[in-house]
Chain A
Amino acid sequence: MSDFKTSDDGLLQVSALDAGYGDLQILTDVDMNVDDGEYVTIVGPNGAGKSTVMKSVFGLTTYMDGEIEFRGDEIQGSNPEDIIHLGLSYVPQNGNIFESLTVRENLEMGAYILDSVPEDQIQAVYDRFPILEERSEQEAGTMSGGQRQMLAMGRALMLDPDLLMLDEPSAGLAPDLVEEMFDRIDRINEAGTSVLMVEQNAKEALRRCDRGYVLVNGENRYMDSGEALLGDEQVRQDFLGG
């Protein structure tokens, strides 16, 4: 077990990962793990490679070296289309809804890999985000930032994934909605879904998560419980603005 892992047989295991885009290497030797039911946050300065970790898990980067395991199966270098079958869902920061499709069609696409539309799961998403039921026939692109983010999460929850990966879920939200968004993520995690989240709003994210990673220049810098990271003088000064 490396210094940056808490277990070697968790849900998601990233080991000594090198990855990037084309010839450009972004991540060097990154270790990371998410255990069953855990809520893990990745923080760090801009350009640290936070999003690249998630994209790499979903096969959207150029894989170079190392391992990514999900439930013990090696998935590094897999085709993005196949990852969702394993029980992982991913909400990218941008372009995370089908704007020209209706709200309901977006949710249907979330369950594309199933043979038929899972009405009970759509209802479950509606129960979690009632505004989506009200807007079910509306074109998704016409909704507000907060509603779009809910739809993006709802789409990702359609297959009831074991691990939900969220890239900057609070980005672009009005300040009063940010708190609400974090509350929703808490509830998703409490219901048993593991969460891996990248957040710019580092303090709030660390307050709420079980564990956090600080990534700098594409490398692991710190790993500890959210509380411990918030309490660490060095981390506070370097990454949390004092």
Chain B
Amino acid sequence: MGASATTARGRELLARLGVAVTLGGAVLLLIDLLAQLARVDLWIIGGELAFSQLMNYLWTGLTLGLIIGLAGVGLSLTYSILNFANFAHGDYLTLGAFSGWSVAYVIAGLGTIDLASLILVDAPSSNVGASVTNTPVAVVVGLVVAIVVTVALGLALDRAVYKPMRNSEGISLLIASIGVAFILRYLAALIFGTGRRGITAPSEIPSMTVLGVQVNAHQLTILVVALVAMMAIHLLLQRTKIGKAMRAMADNRDLARITGIPTERMITATWVLGSGLAGASGYMLVLARGTLGFNDGYLLLLLIFAAVILGGIGSVYGAIVGGLLIGITSRVALVWVPGEFGRPVAFGLMILFLLFRPSGLFGGVETA
């Protein structure tokens, strides 16, 4: 047997071993999960887990995953069309959240609460009473403002920073975007302060119990908005001329140019879509958590990257599926690990997945 044949056999064995270990681990976790649900306790296996608790993890993971997925679509689009990973994307979420909730607060509390504290999203949340049922107009207008402001921010930053660097290497753009991220983050800290604040009023959010899970109106809002947005993105990319041209440009930029597709207009469209989705995600992250801090978008960015990479970087549909997987994993992981470890587990899933499928879930499918 030649050396190369031996190596190939060795690799195959290793791969098989990897699959075996992974499958074994998965089966163990599943058995443990079932044992916990059945309240069986055998040595390291089992424990006590209420079925409603598991469903609750799944549901909150789903809402978080939808937000990560929407943000991931924007990140993936800018990556595939502009050829760089935008590290400032997370801070677009933060800026979208602050601008949107600032306007929502002004609408909700105008006349009864001091204007400055409303604009700075500083007023006590229980006094403002912001919720989708209590102050529906404020919440909806806030969402629109979050999108519009983030789009304006994305376009302005493209003009000021990324456009002059259009022909630079991806790595230079990436580093520039890290700079932009710092500027945005500390701009938010400067204007709104560094304290984490409650935004929505918990007492004003109606909820009901479905299959033992507490489902509140804000989570339902996230579900509806995210599904509508995803359907709209799908139709845009598959049915409209500009969407098809965006896919064409992501696929093969040189060919797009000689076909007469206007590069700059497509880049503008990409920023509008990507930034708009980032603004909406940031705004809805507050609906999911009830609180907002100047670091929130940045902290979520790692999970967004994980989702995009898991889904296959450059793929829009991959970003959505990756977002759901990462969101749900980070929550369901709480069955086995304490709260602060949900994030590493999500990354573990991503790494494990990439070992078996290096190009990601939808890798090689590009934007289609």
* A contact set with B: CB distance below 8 Å: 58, 60, 80-85, 90, 92, 95-101, 105, 108-110, 112-113, 139, 155
Contacts and interface: CB of A to CB of B under 8 A. Distances in A.
Given A60-B258, A85-B260, A105 B366 contact: no
B261 interface: yes
B168 interface: no
B255 A112 contact: no
Contacts of A98: 247-248, 251-252, 255-256
Contacts, number: 70
Contacts of A96: 255
B263 interface: yes
B262 interface: yes
Residue among A81, A105, A139 with the highest chain B CB neighbour number at 10 A: A81
B254 A95 contact: yes
Given A92-B254, A95-B254, A139-B368, A101 B248 contact: yes
Nearest to A152: B255
A169 to B, nearest CB: 16
Contacts of B357: none
A81 B368 contact: no
Given A109-B245, A112-B241, A139-B368, A99 B251 contact: yes
A110 B258 CA distance: 9
Contacts of A84: 258-260
Interface string B229-269: 00000000000010011011011101111111111000000
7 contacts: A92-B254, A97-B255, A98-B252, A99-B251, A100-B367, A101-B244, A109-B256
Contacts of A97: 252, 255
B365 interface: yes
B269 to A, nearest CB: 14
Interface of B: 241, 244-245, 247-248, 250-252, 254-263, 365-368
Contacts of B262: 81
A107 to B, nearest CB: 11
A90 B245 contact: no
B359 to A, nearest CB: 13
B261 to A, nearest CB: 5
A108 B238 CA distance: 12
Contacts of B367: 100
Given A81-B263, A83-B260, 18 more contacts: A60-B258, A81-B257, A81-B261, A92-B255, A97-B252, A98-B247, A98-B248, A98-B256, A99-B252, A100-B251, A100-B367, A100-B368, A101-B244, A105-B247, A109-B248, A109-B256, A112-B245, A155-B259
A100 B368 CA distance: 6
Nearest to A159: B260
A84 B241 CA distance: 18
Contacts of A105: 244, 247-248
A109 B244 contact: yes
A108 B243 CA distance: 12
A85 B248 CA distance: 19
B95 to A, nearest CB: 32
Given A100-B365, A100-B366, A80 B252 contact: no
A60 B245 contact: no
Contact of B259 (A60, A99, A100, A109): A109
Nearest to B367: A100
B259 A112 contact: yes
B17 to A, nearest CB: 33
Given A100-B365, A139-B368, A108 B259 contact: no
Given A92-B255, A98-B252, A108 B260 contact: no
A83 B366 CA distance: 27
Given A81-B261, A81-B263, A85-B260, A100 B247 contact: yes
